[in-house]
Structure 1
Amino acid sequence: MIRTSRRLADGREILYYDDDRHPVSRTAEDTRDLPPVSTHSQLRYDALLGEWVAIASHRQSRTFLPPADECPLDPSRPGRPTEIPESAYQVVVFENRFPSLATAVERDVPPTAPGAPLAELRPGFGRCEVVCFTDEHDRAFAELGPDRARLVVDVWADRTAELGAIDGVEYVFPFENHGEEIGVTLSHPHGQIYAYPYIPPRAATILDTVRRADGDVFAEVVESERKGPRVVAENDHWTAFVPAAARWPYEVQFFPTARVPDLPALDDAQRDAFVEVYLDVLGRFRHRFHSPMPYIAAWNQAPVREGRDEWWLHLQLFSIRRAESKLKYLAGSESGMGAFITDTNPEDVAEQLRAVVVP
């Protein structure tokens, strides 16, 4: 893999990742006249829940569902420069222009929120990156093919290592939102990576659970699910299964057979094997109904500095679609109390996904 670092017109970093079998010179300049990025995000502490909330009101002005011929993630072409100056690319990563968290964030914030002495304030420090999987606007991840998907896995691993090395970053979260129903504002195939200055709630809860348990919860879950009725796809290195207590109508979790803390720890064989299983299951998601299923793919990695020996890397893939023309909305119980009520049966979902014929 070849990584080339350049700068956009407003100073943001852009990184081109190319397969080393097909080296390309990346010299195009960003010709746009862009004002400097100014980020005023804050982190506010919820004293009752013990969680941090990012306040990022500047994101209201971000690009929202532009026409396909005005997509800012397409390659640049004569007369229409985009976020990516090159006329073609393989995989690209760049700093988000409308980030929730940024390393250059305004640091001068008061100690607490107005009138709330328990609501500690911190600068919205961190980093938010956009990952473009391909320069083809209408191609989904499920259609990338194994070589490009493997390059994306290598990019995720590279960014995890780089972002985790930033002083003050405690957790690195690569993810993809796919489909307008999920809330995607740009239809070009892409994902994001958030580098948080704290351990986010899901990871913190999991870490607390495995530490309080009598046995090895991760190992017990992986071992039991690999032998259970909810396996959707597997090979020697990975198992993809519908979790027994799935929260989402369609949910699959991917666990490597061998325990590793994060993406950089995966060897070549494990990365190749993940691509095989992941593209298989994505294809099943894409063809379960007449129209492709919207989804979120979320990597659950070990924190940067804490609990690394206890963690087991895994990926969540889930959809809010519960039937051909029905979506799962987070209503009172889910949104108000965080108590999920699932409209589907995990064993049935696994059977349905196994039965999908991918063209």
Structure 2
Amino acid sequence: MKKTSTRLADGRELLYYDLRDDAVRTTTDPRPLDAVTTGSEIRHDPLLGDAVAIASHRQGRTYLPPADACPLCPSRPGRPTEIPADDYDVAVFENRFPSLAGDSGRCEVVCFTPDHHASFADLDEEHAALALAAWADRTAELATHPAVRQVYCFENRGEEIGVTLGHPHGQIYAYPFVTPRTERMLASAAAHRARHPHQNLFDDVVTAERADGRRTVLDTAHWTAFVPYAAHWPYEVHLYPRRRVPDLPALDDAARAELPGLYLELLRRFDRLFGPGHPPTPYISAWHQAPFHHPHRTEFALHLELFTVRRTPGKLKFLAGSESGMSVFINDVPPEAAAQRLREAATE
């Protein structure tokens, strides 16, 4: 992997991640862009303790442009984009409309492929490994940012999820606080440790799922994928390395080598869930990583949460009154049935 750092016309950082070590990236951004100005602000909810990002400048962000106006495709003569080169393997750049910026953190866009009509599942293993390596590299780099306490790498796919750009891409949010979801997991882990001083909650969950087996989707030498016992979403898979690590940069060589093929298999099974003739499955792919400088950082377990809002062909799982108002999820698909369907999707 070769990494090249450059700047866009408005000063934002752009990084190319290339498979070839001899790749040369010298194309400059010809656009007459003004410097990015943001109004990002972090406010705290006194009742829930949550942090909320107020980012009014995002109202004007690009929304579902046609393919010939996509800002994530390579640049063409007369049509410059966010990526000045006429081709790329993986490109990462600072978001032009960030939810977090400056002392409030940082937001980046990760373009997996120059092919506007592809998806992550269409990549070969070498290219998928490069995209995953870029996420790990950005996590390690953003850990040095003085304002950042946690890095979240994720991909939203599908208009049903709320995607505003159709080009296959992911994002990285570098938060200046520990997210509420992670705080809850850390609190649960601490309570488990108090009850069982020599045990780890994440390890025990994975061990229990592997022993039960009914919800296991994939079990390899270095990774385990399963539908959780109390799954929130109709089809939801959690993927854990067999050796607990806090984040992507901490994976050992063996786990890192096995991950691309395993991740591609899960994505392809999601696309086969609802049978031929149905549109691609919308999903969120979320990497949960330990916060930096936390006293219990090493007790946290890196894991992927992959889920879809589609519960059956033509029907979506909406967050209605119970979920949105009280954060109590109601799942119409039994986790054991979801796991069985995902196992069957391997042979279709």
TM range (shorter): over 0.9
**1:357: Cα distance to partner?**
4.4
Q: Greater CA deviation, 155-164 or 269-278? A: 269-278
Cα distance in 2 for residues equivalent to 1:30 and 1:169: 28
1:331-350 paired onto structure 2 within 5 Å? 331-350=320-339
Q: 1:250 — aligned with what?
A: 235
Matched, 1:312 2:310: no
User: What do the CA deviations read for 1:110-165 (whole angstroms, capped 9, x no partner)?
Assistant: xxxxxxxxxxxxx6x10000000011111111111100110111111100000111
Q: 1:295 — aligned with what?
A: 283
Matched, 1:161 2:140: yes
**1:22: Cα distance to partner?**
5.0
Aligned CA RMSD, in angstroms, stands at 1.1
Q: 2:118 aligns with which of 113, 125, 139?
A: 139
Q: 1:241 — aligned with what?
A: 226
Q: 1:212 aligns with which of 191, 194, 198?
A: 191
**1:168: Cα distance to partner?**
1.9
What amino acid is aligned across from residue 219 of structure 1 in structure 2? D
| Structure 1 unaligned regions, length at least 5 | 104-122
Matched, 1:352 2:346: no
Matched, 1:61 2:60: yes
**1:226: Cα distance to partner?**
1.7
What amino acid is aligned across from residue 200 of structure 1 in structure 2? T
**1:287: Cα distance to partner?**
1.2
What's the secondary structure of 2:299's corresponding residue?
coil
**1:102: Cα distance to partner?**
1.0
User: What do the CA deviations read for 1:25-65 (whole angstroms, capped 9, x no partner)?
Assistant: 00001000111100111111100001110000110000000
Matched, 1:148 2:127: yes
Q: 2:50 — aligned with what?
A: 51
Matched, 1:126 2:105: yes
Cα distance in 2 for residues equivalent to 1:143 and 1:234: 23
What amino acid is aligned across from residue 151 of structure 2 in structure 1? V
Aligned residues: 338
**1:234: Cα distance to partner?**
2.3
Q: Is the 8 A contact 1:284 1:358 kept in 2?
A: no
Identical residues among aligned pairs (%): 58
Q: Give the structure-1-normalised TM-score.
A: 0.92
Matched, 1:23 2:11: no
Q: Is the 8 A contact 2:72 2:111 kept in 1?
A: yes
Q: 2:169 aligns with which of 190, 194, 218?
A: 190
Q: Greater CA deviation, 241-250 or 305-314? A: 305-314
**1:235: Cα distance to partner?**
1.2
Q: Is the 8 A contact 2:283 2:308 kept in 1?
A: yes
Q: 1:174 — aligned with what?
A: 153
